[in-house]
């Protein structure tokens, strides 16, 4: 595995669940994020919108390809694709296709599934955690081997490949992100990934994780409410708390002005978080993304220590 390069400043990716909005609205947000200084954008991967079954939602790989085609510099990926929904040979080919089409701007974020009830509803894969984790490890091994362009013979627990080969190979080594901090997840990430996405409710364990994450670079996914001004603090706080409740999202919501958010991200960066997948509590309208450019600019203007 490659060694982690030294940190410079934090990178920002927009986390944008592709639901309750049109393709045009998604592209508008992607272009605004690109202009604001975001490095990338990440979508979710579900067969049904979590806790929002009445809303429309677009398929994960299709929307990533659509956005890559409409942007110039923005990287695209997911937090995270559900391994159970795709055969690794199919996903390896999809990743390579998007990699070439975008000039190397697609990244693979993948996990073993966060909603087992969804898998049961649609009859896809196993719901037992250990099986899903083992399948993910095998999938990543197969994809890494297919991306070399060599002939792959594989007799595993979940997949059998005989004389399998895929061309072309990706334009560069595919960047892989795995999410979670469990023992088995960390084993899989260290073996196959470049980034570890640490859930915000586990950031208090970051110092303890240092000895177990090896070469992995650290990202996280904070939910953010950017205040337009100080006078709106009580109103925005009440609205977001009501919208997201007292669960993990509500408890870890970061609310603040431009200077306050810049301070938060700088503080987390000093603790070793190199990338932030920013999930906006107001669903990331263009005006919010344009304002968030001030946060990014303020951080970039801060001298390195």
Q: What is the total residue count of the chain?
A: 305
Residue 224, H or E segment: strand 223-226
pLDDT above 50: residue 26: yes
Give pLDDT tens digits for 141-195. Answer: 999 999 999 999 999 999 999 999 999 999 999 999 999 999 999 999 999 999 9
Model confidence at 249, in pLDDT bands (50, 70, 90)?
low
**The pLDDT value given to residue 302:** 76
Q: Tell me the pLDDT of the chain averaged across its residues.
A: 92
Is the pLDDT reported for residue 5 higher than 50?
A: no
Contacts of 183 (CB under 8 A, 6+ apart): none
Round to whole Å and give the CA distance between 95 and 113: 19
Q: How confident is the model at residue 211 (pLDDT cuts 50, 70, 90)?
A: confident
Local confidence band at 113 (pLDDT 50, 70, 90 cut-offs) = confident
Query: What's the CATH code, domain 11-301?
Result: 3.20.20.30
- The CA distance from 63 to 69, in Å, is 10
Predicted confidence (pLDDT) at residue 39 exceeds the cutoff of 90: yes
**Measuring CA to CA, how many Å separate 237 from each of 227, 242, 246, 254?**
9, 8, 13, 10
Cβ contacts of 97-103, under 8 Å, gap ≥ 24? 98/61, 98/64, 98/65, 98/68, 99/170, 99/171, 99/172, 99/174, 100/168, 100/170, 100/171, 101/65, 101/68, 101/69, 102/68, 102/69, 102/76, 103/171
CA angle at 175 for the pair 274 and 248, rounded to the nearest 5°: 50
Among candidate residues 156, 175, 150, the one with its CA nearest the CA of residue 1:
175
Band (250; pLDDT cuts 50, 70, 90):
low
Would you name the residues annotated as active-site residues? 46, 117
Average pLDDT of the segment spanning 7-16: 88
The DSSP bridge pattern shows strands 75-78 and 273-280 to be unpaired
pLDDT value at residue 148: 98
235: its two tokens: 């109103």
Return the domain boundaries, the chain: 11-301
Q: Give the three-state DSSP class for 96.
A: helix
Model confidence band, residue 251 (pLDDT cutoffs 50, 70, 90):
low
Q: Work out the pLDDT band at 246, boundaries 50, 70, 90.
A: low
In this prediction, residue 247 carries a pLDDT of 58
Mean pLDDT of the region 4-11: 66
Say which residue, 74 or 116, is predicted with more confidence.
74
């Amino acid at each position: 595995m490659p060694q982690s390069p030294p940190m410079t400043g934090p990178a920002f990716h927009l986390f944008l669940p592709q639901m309750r909005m049109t393709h045009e609205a998604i592209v508008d947000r992607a272009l605004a994020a690109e202009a604001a200084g975001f490095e990338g954008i990440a979508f979710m991967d579900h067969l049904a919108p979590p806790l929002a079954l009445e809303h429309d939602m677009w398929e994960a790989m299709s929307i990533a390809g659509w956005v890559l085609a409409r942007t110039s510099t923005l990287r695209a990926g997911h937090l995270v694709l559900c391994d159970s929904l795709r055969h690794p040979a199919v996903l390896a080919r999809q990743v390579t296709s998007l990699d070439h089409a975008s000039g190397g701007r697609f990244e693979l974020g993948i996990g073993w599934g966060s909603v087992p009830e969804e898998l049961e509803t649609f009859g896809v894969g196993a719901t037992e955690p250990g099986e899903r984790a083992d399948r993910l490890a095998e999938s990543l091994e197969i994809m890494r081997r297919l991306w070399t362009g060599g002939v792959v013979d594989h007799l595993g627990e979940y997949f059998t490949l005989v004389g399998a080969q895929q061309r072309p190979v990706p334009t560069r080594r595919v960047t892989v992100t795995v999410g979670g901090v469990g023992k088995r997840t960390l084993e899989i990430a260290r073996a196959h990934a470049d980034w570890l996405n640490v859930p915000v409710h586990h950031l208090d364990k970051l110092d303890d994780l240092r000895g177990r994450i090896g070469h992995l670079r650290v990202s996280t996914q904070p939910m953010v409410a950017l205040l337009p001004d100080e006078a709106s603090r009580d109103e925005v706080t009440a609205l977001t708390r009501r919208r997201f409740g007292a669960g993990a999202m509500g408890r870890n919501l970061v609310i603040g002005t431009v200077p306050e958010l810049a301070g938060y991200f700088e503080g987390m960066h000093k603790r070793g978080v190199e990338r932030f997948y920013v999930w906006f509590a107001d669903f990331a309208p263009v005006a919010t993304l344009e304002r968030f450019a001030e946060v990014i600019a303020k951080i970039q203007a801060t001298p390195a220590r």
